[in-house]
Amino acid sequence: MTTTNPNFTDAEYEARIALTRADMSKRGIDLLVISDPSNMNWISGYDGWSFYVHQAVLLPMEGEPVWWGRGIDEPGARRTVFMKEGGNIVPYDDSYVQNPQKHTMEALSALIIDRGWHTGWIGVEMDNYYYSAAAHQTLLNHLGDARFVDATGLVNWQRLVKSESELLYIRRAARIVERMHQVIMDVAEPGMPKNMLVAEITRAGIQGADGQWGDYPAIVPMAPSGLDATAAHLTWDDRPMRAGEATFFEIAGVHRRYHCPQSRTLFFGTVPDLYRHAEEAVLEATEAGLAWCRPGARAEDVAIAFNVTLNKKGFEKDNRCGYSIGLSYPPDWGERTLSLRSGAMTELKPGMVLHFMPALWLDDGGLEITEPVLITENGPELLCKTPREIFVK
């Protein structure tokens, strides 16, 4: 076991498992097959860039979880998971990897049968990035005595309220993203190739801040300029940055897989009136939304307050204005649970962390001024101190 993994105490992992099993019991699930790497990490501590092959953490109603994965990833599991009992780290043979003659889930089926878990209700995460249609069909073909239920999001929702240990990592990530934005202000200039600026942003993110190292982000830096910034998710190329253009930077600081995303917009030269009006509208609407970031409010309360204020200023946003954040792996730093939108009735509770994301995409560019927010007993706590304004150089 390394000195840095697992990242939490055994007691914290056991508390997480108890929460998850309580929900499993309500749904009548006897065995949960966890294939989302964020959920695998949260339940067991496993941390490796191995999610391009099939792997899972199996959670029965009794005993420790079982890590199951590719044979060459077994040493990584032994160095990162909290489980100590023998037989709870189970590798499969490498001949299953990318072999059209057989499927990896045949090996998982054999393990489930061997443990006697093949006759009950099995929950699988059907709607995530890592569990394929072929994987599900193979389990159905080999576990005919089992009954399957969709357990997508079951573990994700247990992760919504953060522990003090998790908040420590997120606060460290906040210091990192603050430094990344400062690097942008320090080094960006007209004529600078965009890829060279992104290299400096990435360098700062990995170097970390305040003596704490930076982990890799689940999403690469988004840094479109000009008309490219009318789109939400473009990345970068080698074109030089130009005077008279806006560039938004959607980036995140990361520490031990915990993310703190924050976006800002940079303009070279005199900011056009449209952007100043949009900035004023976004900032006023942000304050209106933040006023509802308090325990007892609903997720939709934040979104409605934001959108009503934004609309009064002459702007509209037809997509959600935020979501929950925390532990994550590519391709998404969101937790895929709470969203800030009309109709979202999730009650806000202390310990939830949100990315309040009031981005606007205009006719000739984009404006992103976003905030990571912690819900506390006393209301919202802004995790970053980055100035809330358009950056101008």
- Give the E-state strand segments of 203-339 in sequence order: 246-255, 258-267, 322-325, 334-339
- Are the C-beta atoms of residues 134 and 106 closer than 8 Å to each other? no
Query: Which residues in the chain are classed under CATH 3.40.350.10?
Result: 10-158
Q: What is the pLDDT of residue 4?
A: 52
Specify the CATH architecture of the domain 10-158.
3-Layer(aba) Sandwich (3.40)
Q: What is the pLDDT of residue 225?
A: 96
Question: Mean pLDDT, to the nearest integer, of 58-85?
Answer: 95
211: confidence class by pLDDT, cuts 50, 70, 90: very high
pLDDT at residue 361 tops 90? no
- Are the C-beta atoms of residues 392 and 276 closer than 8 Å to each other? no
% of the chain exceeding 70 in pLDDT = 99
Among 24-33, 150-159, 272-281, 358-367, the range scoring the smallest mean pLDDT is: 358-367
389: confidence class by pLDDT, cuts 50, 70, 90: very high
208 three-class SS = coil
pLDDT at residue 3 tops 50? no
pLDDT at residue 1 tops 50? no
Q: Could you give the C-alpha distances from 142 to 64, 69, 116, 243, 295, in angstroms and in order?
A: 24, 18, 14, 62, 47
Structure tokens belonging to residue 372: 């990571």
The C-alpha atoms of residue 189 and residue 256 are separated, in whole angstroms, by 32
The C-alpha atoms of residue 147 and residue 350 are separated, in whole angstroms, by 37
The C-alpha atoms of residue 180 and residue 175 are separated, in whole angstroms, by 9
pLDDT at residue 229 tops 60? yes
5: confidence class by pLDDT, cuts 50, 70, 90: low
59 three-class SS = strand
pLDDT tens column, 313-330? 999 998 999 999 999 999
Query: Which residues in the chain are classed under CATH 3.90.230.10?
Result: 164-392
Among 193-202, 278-287, 298-307, 361-370, the range scoring the smallest mean pLDDT is: 361-370
Q: What is the pLDDT of residue 86?
A: 81
pTM for the model: 0.96
What does the radius of gyration of the chain's CA atoms come to, in whole angstroms?
22
The helix (H) or strand (E) run that includes residue 121 is strand 121-124
Q: What is the mean pLDDT of the chain?
A: 96
Q: What is the pLDDT of residue 345?
A: 98
The C-alpha atoms of residue 179 and residue 185 are separated, in whole angstroms, by 10
pLDDT tens column, 6-54? 789 999 999 999 999 999 999 999 999 999 999 999 999 999 999 999 9
Buried-exposed string 155-183: b where 16+ CB fall within 10 A, e elsewhere: bbbbbbbbeeebbebbbbbbbbbbbbbeb
Q: What is the pLDDT of residue 10?
A: 95
Q: What fold characterizes domain 164-392?
A: Creatine Amidinohydrolase (3.90.230)
Question: Mean pLDDT, to the nearest integer, of 49-62?
Answer: 98
Q: Which residues, including other chains, have CB under 8 Å from residue 186's CB and lie 6 or more apart?
A: none
363: confidence class by pLDDT, cuts 50, 70, 90: confident
